Structure 1
């Protein structure tokens, strides 16, 4: 499975978890149907679910005049996946951000891409600043 497809499937599963309260394994099975699973997809989904509280705190720090509860669920879950990739994976930061923007173009509205770019760029900048202090 290509990584873009894995990101899209992870988004669909996370959206399902938010909307129906499905368990992560159940949501994964539902979005895959008969397709075989993928280790990158599993890492994105289960890693995002496992670290969701910390990820949501990170996103909330960078929202201006918004609360996380007001975000569209699609945008929120794209941000969660992007933040997971920035903070917990070896995916290059610019790749994580660009992929999140591309997924937003497919699943979000006209404003989703620039909004997601802005938030993830702030998170990336904060991460870079911390690494320079080491």
Structure 2
């Protein structure tokens, strides 16, 4: 599984976990049948484990929005991207932004990518 596909699967998994009673393992098993890819599991488990810190930082970057008001896809993509920006130093800042926009093109609408790009552009490059 390439990283792009791992991110797509992570969006699907985290989308499922948002406001449900599923465990992380149940959600992972529902999305991927074969043993999970290391990068995919890192994205899913890392985002879930650091959700509180991610949401706190993300809330500070949202203008005139609350996390609860965001469409579920944008919220999910933003959480994964912020996880990568804050906790995964091996992925360059620009790659995280580009991948988030691509995920929005796949799962969201034309406004999703612009919105996500606007929020993520407020994060300083490391």
Q: In structure 2, how many angstroms separate the alpha carbons of the residues matched to 1:59 and 1:81?
A: 11
* 1:55 aligned residue: 54
Tell me the residue number matched to 2:74.
75
Is 2:23 the counterpart of 1:20? no
Report how far residue 50 of structure 1 moved.
Answer: 0.3
> What's the counterpart of residue 94 of structure 1?
94
Task: Return the offset for 1:19.
Answer: 4.0
Which runs of structure 2 are paired with 1:108-127 in the superposition (5 Å)? 108-123=108-123, 125=124
- In the other structure, the counterpart of 1:132 is none
Q: Residue by residue, what CA displacement relative to the aligned partner does 1:33-53 show, whole Å, maximum 9, x if unpaired?
A: x23310000000000000000
Say whether 1:35 aligns with 2:49: no
CA distance in 2, matches of 1:53, 1:64: 19
- 1:86-115 CA-to-partner distances (Å, cap 9, x unmatched) read 111020110011001001100011111011
Q: Which structure dedicates a bigger proportion of its chain to helix?
A: 1
Q: What CA RMSD, in Å, does the superposition of the two structures yield over aligned residues?
A: 1.1
Match of 1:64 in 2: 63
Match of 1:2 in 2: 2
Larger radius of gyration: 1
Aligned length: 125
Runs of 4+ in 1 over 6 A off after TM superposition: none
Instruction: Give the structure-2-normalised TM-score.
Output: 0.95
- Distance in 2 between the 1:45 and 1:27 partners? 10
Please give the alpha-carbon distance, in whole angstroms, between the structure 2 residues aligned to 1:5 and 1:35: 14
Q: Secondary structure at the match of 1:21?
A: coil
Listed as ranges, the gaps of 5+ residues in structure 1 are 129-134
Q: Secondary structure at the match of 1:116?
A: helix
